[in-house]
Each structure stands twice: as C-alpha cells, then as structure tokens.
Amino acid sequence: MSNLIDSFHRRINYMRISVTDRCDLRCIYCASTSFHDQTHEDTLRYEEIHKVAQAAASIGVSKIRLTGGEPLVRLYLSRLVKLLANTPGIDEVSMTTNGTLLAKYAAELKAAGLQRVNISLDSLKPDKFTYITGGDKLDDVLHGIEVAQNIGLVPVKINMVVLKGINSDEITDFARKTITDDWNVRFIEHMPFTWAKMQGNELVSTQEIISIIRAQFGELEPHFPQVGNGPAKYYKIHGAKGTLGFIGAVTDCFCAQCNRFRLTSDGKLRPCLLDDDEIDIRGPLRSGATIAELAKIIQSAADVKRAQHHLSTGIKPSSRSMRQIGG
C-alpha cells in the first residue's frame, strides 16, 4: 500500500512520466501555435528518470505510464522500459502513444517489460485524421493497434477526444468497433487550454456521447475492468467483447479519486495535469540527491496537490502545452 498521501487523504500510487516534449503529429487540441522544443541538456536522461522512479517506488508508487509528446520518437525507449519494469515495487509499466511508430517497436517494448498501451486516435477517416493531427498516418496507427493486440499488449485502449462538429459524427463508428474488432474505446471530453490552436466551444459532454451511442445500440451494460480502470466509467454494448469508457474531465470531475502525479521530461513534478503548480526535481537530482531525498521532494509535490481542477469554472492551465506536460 502506498505511503504517499496528499493533504486530502488521497493515496498516490501512479506516476505518469513524459520522456520527451517532441511529437511527430500536431493535433489541433494539443499542440500550441508555436513550438520551442527543449534542449537535449534540459531533458532527463533515462538513468535520471529511473532514479526518480526508484524514489517514487520507495514510498508506494507501483504504476508507471510513459507519455510524451510522443514517447516513441525518443530513441532506445525499450532501455528505459527495462529499467522501470525491473524496479522493485513497480508492478505495471504502460504507455500512451499516438501509434504511428508502434508497429515498429511493439515487440521490442513488450520484451523489455511493457505491459499495455493506450493509443490516441480521433478519426477513422483519412482526410479528417489528417486535419486533426496534421499528418497522413492513419494506416500506420491502425497497423500499430493490430500489432499491439496480436503480441499481447492488452488491453489495448483507444482514446478518442470528441470534438463538436469535427469528429463527433464518428462516435457511433468508434462504438461499433467494440463489436466488430473487440476494441476498447474511451471517449474523452475535450479539455480547453489557453495555449491551444483550437479555441471555442468544442466540448461534447460524456452524457451527450452516451445518449448518441444508446440511440444507436440500445441500453449499455456497466462493465468493471480488472486492470487500468483509472478515471473512466466503463460500459459494454450488449454482445460486444470490447468496452466503452467515458472520461468526463470537464463535466464529471473525478479529482476526489485522483491517485496520480506527473514527471515532465525536463524534470518537473506536476501534481495535476490541469493546474500550473510544479516542483523542480531535476536540480536536486543533478546535484546528487539520494533516493530518500528525492522521495521527500515527491512527497512535497503530493502536499501541494489541490482538491480539484477548475476547468468547469473557466480557469485553464496556461504555462505549458499538453505535449510539454505529458498528458
């Protein structure tokens, strides 16, 4: 059981680690209008990430998810996966990816100890995929999903950010994939950020999404996954092998159950994705801090974790883009 507890008595056992701020796509809701990639020197080395993970594990963190930017654009990622998978106390190493490079690296990552993947995919239509992501790589992503399923990086979860008037007409197409292809699809409410290219009212609430799916497929059956359930509420269409997950980050705040914090690729501890509070750990790390000293810094990040974010009241994080945070 984790000894890392915040001031609101939430037990923290999950760390999301961004390995890079770089990405091979430029999604309209994620990327900012300008790009200032951090320097090589500012980016944590794999050995440094591993040391922070050891400190986190020493006080009860047991789950790690690798993110970016796009994590697979960083070379030799399997080396880090192996270090983390062999860290005492770490029970699970997973990854969120856009899937463009997944087919190439999936087997290597699984052999290193990666257990499962979440894949971001916002459209099944080539022209719309290109519009949303800025890249003509839909076939690569679909191939990556197939390879991940075949080699056992399961359950593969497909994350769709629903955008009003852009891809909201594909909600039932994604839901149907849980029947035809056994996909596990998670519908995510669009989270507004002040720096994003996209501005305006793009929010489609989880209740609207559920209503659209019910109108097509009938009443949904509650489902309780065994692994990786996180903040989503899960259901199934009758007879489907795959699942439907709904993440209402804006309209259905799940902060009271939050069990996570983030490590950015430039060495900042971020208690909340949707708040600008950060604590530097790179400085102490490079000054020779011990595992025990790093653990105290991680606890200090938990201590400043707020009760909840304030998206519903219009207060948006503004200091970093999503690719710099590691969403």
223-254 pLDDT per residue, tens: 987 665 567 899 999 999 999 999 987 777 66
The per-residue pLDDT for 190 is 87
- Contact between residue 227 and residue 13 where contact means Cβ atoms under 8 Å apart: no
Exposure of 238 by Cβ count < 10 A (0-12 exposed, 13-18 middle, 19+ buried)?
exposed
On the question of pLDDT at 255 being above 90, the answer is: no
- Residue (of 223, 262, 321, 243) closest to 66 by Cα position: 262
User: Measured between alpha carbons, how far is 250 from 317 in angstroms, rounded to an integer?
Assistant: 13
- Contact between residue 187 and residue 245 where contact means Cβ atoms under 8 Å apart: yes
Helices 46-58 & 77-85 angle (0-180, nearest 10):
20
Average pLDDT for 12-17: 95
Domains belonging to the chain, first-starting first, are: 14-325 (3.20.20.70)
- Contact between residue 243 and residue 184 where contact means Cβ atoms under 8 Å apart: yes
Cite the DSSP H helix spans in 30-96. 46-58, 77-85
26-71 pLDDT per residue, tens: 988 886 555 567 899 999 999 999 999 999 999 999 999 999 999 9
List the structure tokens of 159: 């994350």
Q: How confident is the model at residue 195 (pLDDT cuts 50, 70, 90)?
A: very low
Which amino acid is residue 276, in one-letter code?
D
CA atoms within 13 A on the CB side of 322: 21
71-95 pLDDT per residue, tens: 999 999 999 999 999 999 999 999 9
